[in-house]
Amino acid sequence: MPITLKTPEEIERLRVAGRLAGEVLDYVAPFVQPGVTTAELDRLCHDYMVNVQGCIPAPLNYAPPGYPPYPKSICASVNHQVCHGVPNDRPLKKGDIVNLDITTIKDGWHGDTSRMFVVGDASILARRLCQVTLECLWLGIGQVRPGARLGDIGAAIQRHAEKNGFSVVREFCGHGIGQHFHEEPQVLHYGKPGTGIALEAGMTFTIEPMINAGKAAISELPDGWTIVTRDRSLSAQWEHTIAVTETGCEVLTLSAGAPPRPDPGG
């Protein structure tokens, strides 16, 4: 599939879908407390997307080649789960960290974003991992402009993660997005500056670094979806959908409750 450059009208459609995805995270945030199950968070998000926003939850029954249909409306990845965690009936407990990954479809266009939540008080390591991963996301976003290269994004993320003693998951990456959930290009979260395809205005894609407190190696659970760190170390992820503009980029999944751009302190 070639990279499709979006028109201003198409980017407006993506802007609407992206804002709605961010607003799902704003809505569910107060419910992320000790004792709630990720299945309950899934139900809350599903009902909000369908009944309030008039959206379709993109993950529900999503079945790329080789995968069973995904059974829930959101992904909820707890502690050592890296991504694609399937919501279940285990209550969250104080000290957990959880990534909630939301993708809406509105009028045929996708908005994709994820956010880390700290359940009650968490360890210094857990909070630092979540913060550094957020910084990695925004350092990657900061590389996006016409003429930059995809490798610039990955290099900025990898440099910051490894400087802080963390590792970058290699097997999963950001992706183009539009009328399809996953399009070209693939956006790696590691790499070398000046490599990869050149960015052009009209490109739309996600940046979604997965950063581990331990080693980068991962495993897949028997459900066929949930990815975990092989050494059972904590993992964190943040995600935004980005449009390349004539002068830089626009983050399409910002919402009122989204954490502001952090200062990574050099």
Give this prediction's pTM.
0.96
pLDDT tens digits for 86-107? Answer: 999 999 999 999 999 999 999 9
Residue by residue, DSSP assigns 17-82 as HHHHHHHHHHHHGGG--TT-BHHHHHHHHHHIIIIIS--EETTTT---TTSPPP-SSSEEEETTEE
For residue range 218-261, list pLDDT tens digits in order: 999 999 999 999 999 999 999 999 999 999 999 999 999 999 99
In this model, does residue 266 exceed pLDDT 90? Answer: no
The CATH fold assigned to 8-251 is Creatine Amidinohydrolase (3.90.230)
Read off the pLDDT of residues 1-34 as tens digits, 9 standing for 90 and up. 789 999 999 999 999 999 999 999 999 999 999 9
